């Protein structure tokens, strides 16, 4: 199943408290539970003003539906084509 990176513009995201992040995560998980197993949240990276989420889903529309139901921004959604790391350069 495809993997996606979702860019969410959230001003002040890096200043959110642990409790606020917990509430956001709980809301996301509730929406995911309602949508069924075809969509999975892998993890997210929080920066100063954005959150980058990694999801596994059948298509971009499923990602957009999750964002809509959870009232989360989804400013950019990009399908991951491949993953590389330092071992990719080894012969």
The C-alpha atoms of residue 5 and residue 3 are separated, in whole angstroms, by 7
Average pLDDT over residues 9-14: 97
Supply angle C-alpha 59, 63, 67, rounded to 5: 165
Strands, sheet with 3-9, edge to edge from the N-terminal-most edge strand: 40-46, 50-56, 3-9, 76-80
Which stretches within 1-80 are classed as H helix? 18-35, 60-70
Sketch the domain layout of the chain as residue ranges. Answer: 3-89
How many other CB atoms sit within 10 Å of the CB of residue 16? 15
Average pLDDT over residues 1-19: 97
Model confidence at 91, pLDDT cuts 50, 70, 90, reads: confident
CATH number assigned to the domain with residue range 3-89, chosen from the 4 options 3.30.43.10, 3.30.70.3090, 3.40.228.10, 3.40.50.2020: 3.30.70.3090
Convert the pLDDT of each residue in 20-77 to its tens digit.
999 999 999 999 999 999 999 999 999 999 999 999 999 999 999 999 999 999 999 9
Contact between 87 and 10 (Cβ < 8 Å): no
pTM: 0.92
SS3 assignment, position 88? helix
Residues 47, 51, 52, 56, CA torsion sign: positive
pLDDT at 9: 98
pLDDT at 73: 97
Average pLDDT over residues 4-8: 98
């Amino acid at each position: 199943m495809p993997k996606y990176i979702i860019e969410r513009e959230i001003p002040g995201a890096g200043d959110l408290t642990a409790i606020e992040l917990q509430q956001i995560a709980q809301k996301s998980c509730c929406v995911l539970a309602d949508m069924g197993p075809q969509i999975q949240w892998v993890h997210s990276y929080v920066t100063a003003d954005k959150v980058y989420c990694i999801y596994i889903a059948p298509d971009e529309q499923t990602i957009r539906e999750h964002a809509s139901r959870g009232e989360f921004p989804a400013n950019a959604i990009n399908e991951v084509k491949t993953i590389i790391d330092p071992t990719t350069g080894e012969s």
